[in-house]
Amino acid sequence: MLKSFRLGGVHPHDYKISKDAAIRTLEVPQTVTILLGQHIGAPATATVQKGDKVLVGDVIGTATGFVSANIHSSVSGTVTAVESVLDGANMRKPAVTIAVEGDEWNPAIDRTDTLVRECTLEPKAIIEKIAAAGIVGLGGATFPTQVKLSIPPGKKAEMLIINGVECEPYLTADYRLMMEHADEVLVGCEILMRAIGVEQCYIGIENNKPDAIRHLNDALQKGKYHTGIHVVPLKMRYPQGGEKQLIAAIAKREVPSGKLPIDVGAVVQNVGTTYAVYQAVQKNRPIVDRIVTVTGKQLATPSNLLVRIGTPISTLIEACGGLPEDTGKVINGGPMMGRAMANIDAPVTKGTSGVLMMSRKESLRKPEMPCIQCAKCVDACPMGLEPFLISKLSRLQLFDRLETERITDCIECGCCAFTCPSSLPLLDYIRIGKAETMKIIRARQTK
């Protein structure tokens, strides 16, 4: 019987229309704009100024504080500006703009395709290399990876769980990565196991990707990898890619409210992050590019593109046939957790997993109706919350009550809005309430 998590979840249609599109390397753009805040935590501090020359892989922003990440140049050329620019939501964010001149790389980076298997570094040295390379969670959360791997005193990691689920409809970047770079992913697993000192690693993949499951299992056997690495087929169920849901599915351990995966002995990493760890530790390669799924039912050529960080998202769309005439909305990410873009000239960041074009008909919201108290949102919530209640409290700005109702446990998966027969914008109000509640909590903690 296929494994899955116990509580809530929904079954949206798949629409993996780009799954057979091999990863295609996009041409280097003439200019890139690289945001200094591409991760959860404090933005990096710029280490370059206008007029500086940079190579691919050079540090252009250093981490500020423990929860932060370095930023590297994705191109070679001249820095033309260090200033605030508009991101996908039309919010001003600090960034470095570089005019491209050729494609010269930092000489410390190994650009060959030769697989490097053996890693003899001590755990501390591995984590230091990961931090230096600016690795963050590439599934969309963008949490700095070195922080996850730094086990707090009194805690102990018992297992590593690799998220190859990619349960968002439409997205196929992780799937193509597993199909085309299985060995690099498996070496990345071994490196992460060494870094946190565990003997068991579980790669969770939903059973709508049977060839990825088979391919990784074949690679495990042929490559004679660590015997503690296991590929775990999972039942299709959204949001199985959430780390707490993935732990529940694979390890049958529930992460308590307010606690972290390490509190139940687990460390979870995305499959893309695992590949990036291999690149950083074995090849001295920081995050300068990433795979992005560009897709949509009306798009001429749904694709999986390897693109330099800082490339305008409009350039990706043009490379796939251009913006369809009937586009009603462009989503950064997938349809469940992604956010509508107000500015498609915004740059690709480390967290850009997908770009989805939805038609006017698909993106049109149905009229909001009164709640019929059906409790479908409660049944669908994978965190055991009451979405209608916390959405209503958010509308009323009752933030103290929101904290009591555990709004900070919400993973913003969208299951509640997806299942609501009254078309209530539950997730929208929950996001607003969660952001305000978190501000209040942070202010209280700093007193």
- Measured distance CA(102)–CA(66) in Å, rounded: 35
**Alpha-carbon distances, residue 50 vs 38, 45, 77, 83, 312 (angstroms):** 21, 14, 11, 10, 20
Task: Give phi and psi for 425, each to the nearest 5.
Answer: -80, 60
The residue length of the chain stands at 447
- Cα of first residue to Cα of last residue in the chain, in angstroms, is 51
**Alpha-carbon distances, residue 362 vs 60, 359, 438 (angstroms):** 40, 5, 32
Burial 269-305 (b: 16+ CB within 10 A, else e): bbbbbbbbbbbbbbbbbbbbbbbbbbbbeebeebbbb
CB burial of residue 113 (10 Å; 0-12, 13-18, 19+)? exposed
Residue 416 annotated in ligand binding: yes
Quick check: 294 and 355 in contact, CB under 8 A? yes
CB burial of residue 264 (10 Å; 0-12, 13-18, 19+)? middle
- Measured distance CA(301)–CA(178) in Å, rounded: 21
Q: Quick check: helix, strand or coil at residue 378?
A: helix
Token readout for 145 is: 């990876």
Quick check: 60 and 91 in contact, CB under 8 A? no
Task: Provide the 10 A C-beta neighbour count for residue 4.
Answer: 17
Residue 410 annotated in ligand binding: yes
Residue 413 annotated in ligand binding: yes
Distance of CA 287 to the CA centre of its chain: 13
- Measured distance CA(381)–CA(387) in Å, rounded: 7
Which residue type sits at 24?
R
- Measured distance CA(375)–CA(352) in Å, rounded: 33
Task: Provide the 10 A C-beta neighbour count for residue 369.
Answer: 11
Residue 201 annotated in ligand binding: no
- Measured distance CA(99)–CA(81) in Å, rounded: 9
Q: Quick check: helix, strand or coil at residue 120?
A: coil
Which residues carry a binding-site annotation?
371, 374, 377, 381, 410, 413, 416, 420
Which residues carry a binding-site annotation for [4Fe-4S] cluster?
371, 374, 377, 381, 410, 413, 416, 420
